[in-house]
Structure 1
């Protein structure tokens, strides 16, 4: 018996030593050569990092590694690698890194986006799935989305030059009503303002390499009075804004619920009398996560929609021809028309593909050492998926820089290209829980807007103003401000838009 156990121990030792030896032999994925101590700190791009990451992918392959002051960052430029790791090995690739600036100091660590993987994360996901996790669940909110989009049309008719603000207003109206049962003010709503400010700060604090404290956490303890530490005062100010965004609508919804005024909101569905303090905090932050994420991502996609219509009038015309044939001119399109509007559906997909809302997504964190494709991925590595690159891969999308909804329409001569929904909303256990709601919001806004408006380049002093076709940097990317002309297609279109007034009452 002693000999048997000795042999087993020896075999185990050989296996362990073999694994250790293999891991020591397995290299990190290739990437740019760094400097001593600093690593690749000076190589990291300061704007539109997804394009630089794509260039690295062209040079070093679908999986690239860099080092920032000792922190390994894995950049994935391959759909297969993203699926293999984040989906196929989701049990060890679903954590989030601790982001000192955005998570700890500004306060987003309690949001679903930055929450560490574990029981609390699963609780959030469960609540959100019960509320909007399937297409059938989201169908309950179609009347709200149609009504608020009708109101968007009216605002566009009155002040078309303020289209960007109208988009934010409408998106905020939908999300706040679903999350809290709150109906926003027509002008300068404080909850919408809070969300706009906080989500912009979230994007800036979570961008790769944006703050050195995220790769050198000891900087957190640097006194504010030291020259160059102004970012600490910024963090304190932004933290107050994050708290305000989270607390104020929640307290409003609690008061309304206590007064017996019920709604079909997320808060009413999950805020029960017998919850513990931690469970109440979970409901509050889950609602805030829904509110913050939905308010900004849909805004970005809709702004891209308006930009693409300005740049591609021929595509706009095709979409309008389909709407005229299916819906006619006597009513506005609705969700009941969706199955009969294949070109509009393809247009929605191409908007999501052409300029993704979150070009690099949010970093995952590896929970265990891993070997993939002959490369060693150490525990604690940050993993970024270059979503922009995956959606502009020439092996997947023909002429990927072109805006072409027809790529998602099958014909006898070609098959449909990969649906961007499988990429743009993330991977594995971190996939966006609001995918069906976002898709529905984008569809109805595109369909209704094109049914009654022509969107084109504006003319000033007799000269055509070319729109700025450029995007902001950060975790969430938006089109930079641009001008466009938005005019009703006909007198009948004006009548339909103005009919919203009676529908509103």
Structure 2
């Protein structure tokens, strides 16, 4: 009699054989990749952390297209920005699906919102909803006061608690997006229940969408085996994550409905959608509005740039140069606004360099090929999961001079030197899956950089003996990453800067 583990192995072997027998053939070869083991393929080659480092190494060893297989599932790592554009944008009609990850989609429920929706009518409706809220000059102009107000509030909180940088960055990102998406204002101090919920949803999303983190994504049939078998612990995890996800969908909508009934709702994306439903003018229902809200505040939760403070601490000369520009253009008597951006080219370039140097989504979200394709002489089978190595694109010496060096001037054109490629072409996704809120994210990050530089000096801390504490430059792993925690000294630049920060109190 086979043990539970034996049954799992036997079923895996049968699945593997069936996939091999049913696999399509082509005269063109598959892209090269690391040699796998019999039956399991490259299952043990898939990286568990710092995925972009492994993908970049594969690119150097195997070329711009690297194919790996795990139990019959094809994964294509794209290590060339040029090829990423050729496939994911120019061939977006066949490269715009998403993988149906068993853990994230079927067991937890992420298939209900736009991120994991196939490219179909439902996704097009989602994107139309987002466009109506996030794109266009009228929308962006209406959101600018929210961004500026919440960033000023961030400066005020940070000046009072400079050791809470990560927490305050988290609150800044959440405050802007939940105000736009749900008309929600954060509690003045302490933990905020809405932001805590957003953080849990996004942290769990990052965990379950990282390729190779859950074996059930490689062997989907494991989902149908009894939970008491060895290796089935993912089932309990899925139940807990599903509850968090559905709370994240339902609770914010309930908040808006309650405020609308009381007549105290702040106009926002959700209230406008609910009003259209009530008037019979909406092609969507309340459930879809809830899922759209998750996409809005979930994506917005990662718009702030933790790497900016790390970069300024490491490069005081660059910090000083940006501050000199701000002092010259804006002056000491007010904070910079989005209206100043065109006159702050170095500060704008600094913001771009932080996006390039430590990209938030180093391998983006995967695309899936809808039908067989041949590219550059290689056969790419239908159903292949395509992963663009965005970190690799943004650190490619063929695109960026001395890519490991933090240098904002690379994005400023001068006589005899063209500006280098704008990282925003890559860091917000590709083709029909490009982030619909990228313009809002871009302006939010710029304001964070400009306002912080205008009033703060950012430096390495000193220990009790007066010695400089050097930060460890490292990043978390997953789909969404940030620098690992680092100590940092943040002080007002002057008495006048401190007064500007405190003026937030008078503006309430």
Normalising TM by the smaller chain, what interval? over 0.9
Q: Does 2:329 match 1:326?
A: yes
Structure 1 pair 277–324 and aligned structure 2 pair: CA distance change class (3 A): closer
Of 472, 495, 499, 1:495 maps to 499
Q: Could you list the runs of 5+ residues in structure 1 that have no partner in the other structure?
A: 1-21
Query: Does the 8 A contact of 1:177 with 1:183 survive in 2?
Result: yes
Distance 1:191 1:275, change over 3 A: farther
Residue 469 of structure 1 pairs with residue 473 of structure 2? yes
What SS class does the counterpart of residue 72 from structure 1 fall into? Answer: strand
Query: Does the CA-based 8 Å contact 1:346-1:406 persist in structure 2?
Result: yes
**Matched residue pairs, number?**
480
Is contact 1:62–1:76 with CA below 8 Å preserved after alignment? Answer: yes
For 1:129 and 1:278, the matched residues in 2 are separated by 15
Moved more, 253-262 or 455-464: 253-262
Match of 1:64 among 38, 41, 66: 66
Task: Tell me the residue number matched to 1:420.
Answer: 423
Of 281, 286, 289, which residue of structure 1 is paired with 2:287? Answer: 281
* 1:434 Cα deviation from its structure 2 partner: 0.6
How far the C-alpha of 1:282 sits from its partner, in A, is: 1.4
1:173–1:183 Cα contact (<8 Å) kept: yes
| TM-superposed deviation, 1:276 | 7.7
Superposed displacement of residue 277, structure 1:
9.9
Distance change in 2, residues 1:104/1:31 (3 Å): same
1:130 pairs, out of 132, 142, 153, with 132
1:439 aligns with 2:442: yes
- 1:286-297 pair list within 5 angstroms: 286-295=292-301, 297=302
Deviation at 1:36, TM superposition (A): 1.1
* 1:279–1:477 distance in 2 versus 1, CA, 3 Å: same
The separation in 1 between residues aligned to 2:109 and 2:354, in whole angstroms, is 31
Describe the shift of the 1:406–1:436 C-alpha distance in structure 2 as closer, same or farther (beyond 3 A): same
Is the 2:256–2:265 contact (alpha carbons within 8 Å) kept by the matching residues of 1? no
> 1:111 offset after TM fit, Å?
2.2
Contact kept? 1:346, 1:408, Cα under 8 Å: yes
User: Which of these residues, 387, 403, 407, is aligned with residue 404 of structure 1?
Assistant: 407
What residue number does 2:88 align with? 86
Q: C-alpha separation between the residues in 1 aligned to 2:140 and 2:258? A: 26
Pairing partner for 1:106 from 105, 108, 131 = 108
Query: What corresponds to 1:18 in structure 2?
Result: none
Offset of residue 134 of structure 1: 3.0
Distance in 2 between residues matched to 1:198 and 1:404, nearest whole Å: 34
CA distance in 1, matches of 2:267, 2:326: 32
In the alignment, is the contact (CA less than 8 A) between 2:394 and 2:400 conserved in 1?
A: yes
| Alpha-carbon offset, residue 423 of structure 1 | 0.5
Q: Distance in 1 between matches of 2:47 and 2:482?
A: 18
Q: Any conservation in 1 of the 2:184–2:266 contact (CA below 8 Å)?
A: no
| Counterpart Cα distance in 1 of 2:426 and 2:286 | 33
The answer for the alignment partner of 2:185 in structure 1 is 183
Q: Secondary structure at the match of 1:495?
A: helix
**Within 2, Cα distance between the matches of 1:55 and 1:129?**
38
Match of 2:370 among 367, 372, 376: 367
- Map residues 118-267 of structure 1 onto 2, 5 A cutoff: 118-186=120-188, 187-267=190-270
Query: Structure 1 residues 64 and 136 mapped into 2: Cα distance closer, same or farther (>3 Å)?
Result: farther
Structure 2 residue aligned with 1:12 = none
Aligned equivalents of 1:368 and 1:355: distance in 2?
A: 34
Secondary structure of the 1:31 match is coil
Deviation readout 1:86-132 (Å, 9 max, x if unpaired): 11111111000101111222221122221221111000000101111
Q: In 1, distance between residues paired with 2:288 and 2:480?
A: 24
Deviation at 1:224, TM superposition (A): 2.1
Give the TM-score normalised by structure 1: 0.93
Hey, what's the Cα distance between the residues in 2 that align with 1:23 and 1:264? 56
CA RMSD of aligned residues (A): 1.4
> 1 CA distance for matches of 2:104 and 2:319?
39
Secondary structure at the counterpart of residue 383 of structure 1? strand
Residue 33 of structure 1 corresponds to 35
Matched residues in 1 for 2:269 and 2:214: separation? 34
Q: SS at 2:116's partner residue?
A: coil
Task: Give secondary structure in 2 for the equivalent of 1:157.
Answer: helix
CA offsets, 1:4-25, max 9 Å, x none?
xxxxxxxxxxxxxxxxxx9621
Displacement of 1:262 after TM fit?
A: 4.4
Give the gaps of 5 or more residues in structure 2: 1-23
Question: For the Cα contact (< 8 Å) 2:337–2:447, is it kept in 1?
Answer: yes
Deviations along 1:409-466, one digit per CA (max 9) or x if unpaired, are 0011210000011110011000000100000100111111110000111112122211
Offset of residue 256 of structure 1: 1.5
The residue correspondences of 1:357-396 to structure 2 (distance < 5 A) are 357-396=360-399
In structure 2, the residue matched to 1:50 is: 52
8 Å contact kept, 1:23–1:376: no
Describe the SS at the equivalent of 2:457. Answer: strand
